[in-house]
Structure 1
């Protein structure tokens, strides 16, 4: 079990980034959350098996079909034992 926090910049708000992220995470069995930040970035936390979390981090660099990702910052954190994935405000 691993945990990663990502901060995604670019055109990532108002383009279904969070909802698509939620669907991708659910399909991979990854827990965590995703939210918009006031500065226009998106922040997400992913917890799960290494391969699945790494796939989510890679997805963040592509984003939804309408997004245009400029940069992804990734931070390793200790897992907290999250059990589901949520879109938060």
Structure 2
């Protein structure tokens, strides 16, 4: 059985107003088996919460860090936790 996890990542850089949340959603759906959301924060960062198999969450985190994203990512900070549930798909907020 695959280990289910919760990834919360805070992405710094020029990540608002460039389609970053939309592309994050598209990437999460392409990876598959992920639920959660991407949210603009007041301080200019984007918060990404993803729940699903650990390898799928790791793949999303790698994409966030790879620089193949809209805008410019200066850094990503993440924490790992147990899933909380309650998400229906992957949304932009």
Q: Same fold (TM over 0.5)?
A: yes
Matched, 1:28 2:31: yes
Unpaired segments of 5 or more residues in structure 1? none
Normalising by the residue count of structure 2, what TM-score does the alignment of the two structures yield?
0.87
Distance across 2 between alignment mates of 1:63 and 1:85? 20
Query: Deviating runs (4+, > 3 A) in structure 1?
Result: none
For 2:23 and 2:92, how far apart are their aligned partners in 1?
10
- Structure 1 residue 86 corresponds to structure 2 residue 91: yes
Taking the TM superposition and a 5 Å limit, the aligned residue runs for 1:6-17 are 6-17=9-20
Residue of structure 2 equivalent to 1:19: 22
**What pairs up with 1:1-89 in 2 under 5 angstroms?**
1-29=4-32, 30-61=34-65, 62=67, 64=69, 66-81=70-85, 82-88=87-93
Two-structure CA RMSD over aligned residues (Å) = 1.2
Count of matched residue positions in the alignment of Structure 1 and Structure 2: 87
Structure 2 gaps of 5+ residues are: none
TM-score of the pair, normalised by structure 1: 0.90
Deviation at 1:39, TM superposition (A): 0.6
Q: Distance in 2 between matches of 1:38 and 1:20?
A: 20
Cα pair distance change 1:35/1:63, threshold 3 Å: farther
